[in-house]
Chains A and B, each alone.
Chain A
């Protein structure tokens, strides 16, 4: 995820310095020795060692877990958090008896937690990473719910031409667009301003002139 270049007297010294700079654990970094360096003879011909150190996802997974654990502790809840990652996406699953409190109305609390976790992790990494927070399989259930909403809206759009859904979070709209892709006679795009932006589900080949305009929107917005 993050690659650092260190120059020092020896490889051992470099690793020691690196560990002082970052609180990494064993197995959370990879070392690539570019130049071992040499002490030379009586200081002559001495050459510094050069080491490339890469901090791996393991480190960021732990950091994210610790950050969330700190928050759950202030909630005074019993909890269990699992973090996994694939490329630049980190998924944190939170389990707790009283998880509804954290999820909040319409997943508002979950959205808030996800937003803060994104800032936290992105402060540490060089590249943009995405954090997804799930609690008690809320996301999975929400996806199933969205699938039902979309299929009902598609049915309706086939009859009346166009259906506007309720406002949703950006990541939920993304899921909706994704789900709607499997209906080849339907196109989707988003309208309105945050936080009231919503998805429009539309039958293809309706009002022709409007269609073209909407089609452009569909390729840019989500």
Chain B
């Protein structure tokens, strides 16, 4: 899952070398902290959060589990 997030993010940002994804558990829930270059934050979230939501949709259909959090750090 982490590989997938990294793969997609690197493909859509201007600065792929700044993409870092950290996976951990918080209160029994999977959390993915995403940090990207400041210029790319808007791109990653997308208009009305559409891009980050798209990533989440694909992740949930991949794992049959939508109980996780994607967090874009600023």
- Nearest B residue to A109 by beta-carbon distance? B61
Q: Is A123 an interface residue (CB 8 A)?
A: yes
Partner of B58, one of A109, A119, A120, A123: A109
> Which segment, of B3-11, B18-26, B27-35, faces chain A?
B3-11
The yes or no answer to A221 lying at the interface (CB within 8 A) is no
A194 within 8 A of B: yes
Task: Map CB proximity to B onto A89-121 as digits: 1 under 8 Å, 0 otherwise.
Answer: 000000000000110100011011101100110
Asked whether, in the complex, the Cβ of A116 is within 8 Å of the Cβ of B12, the reply is yes
Which residues on B sit within 8 Å (CB–CB) of A67?
11
Which candidate, A69-77, A140-148, A150-158, A207-215, is the interface stretch facing chain B? A69-77
Bound form: Cα–Cα A113–B7 in Å:
13
Interface of A is mostly: helix
Number of interface residues of B (CB under 8 A): 19
Per-position contact with A for B53-74: 1 when CB-CB < 8 Å, else 0? 1110110011000000000000
In the complex the two chains form, is B54's CB within 8 Å of A123's CB? Answer: no
Measured CB to CB, the closest approach of chain B to A156, in angstroms, equals 32
Residues A102 and B11 in contact, CB atoms below 8 Å apart: no
Q: Is the CB of A116 within 8 A of B51?
A: yes
A102 touches B61 (CB 8 A): yes
What CA separation (Å) do A198 and B46 show in the bound complex? 22
The listed residue (B4, B12, B46, B53) touching A74 by CB distance below 8 A is B4
Verify B3–A104 contact, CB threshold 8 A: no
Q: Is the CB of A71 within 8 A of B61?
A: no
Q: Which residue of B lies closest to A70 (CB)?
A: B7
- Asked if B57 and A104 sit within 8 Å, CB to CB, the answer is yes
Q: In whole angstroms, how far apart are the Cα atoms of A126 and B62 in the complex?
A: 33
Residue of B nearest to A122 (CB): B12
The answer to whether B11 touches A109, judged by C-beta atoms less than 8 angstroms apart, is no
A209–B48 CA distance with the chains assembled, in angstroms: 35
Bound CA–CA A153/B50 (angstroms):
30
The 16 listed contacts between A and B (C-beta, < 8 Å) are: A71-B4, A71-B7, A71-B58, A74-B4, A74-B7, A75-B62, A101-B62, A102-B61, A111-B57, A112-B55, A112-B57, A115-B51, A116-B8, A116-B12, A116-B51, A123-B12
Q: Which residues of A contact B (CB under 8 A)?
A: 67, 70-71, 74-75, 101-102, 104, 108-109, 111-113, 115-116, 119-120, 123, 194
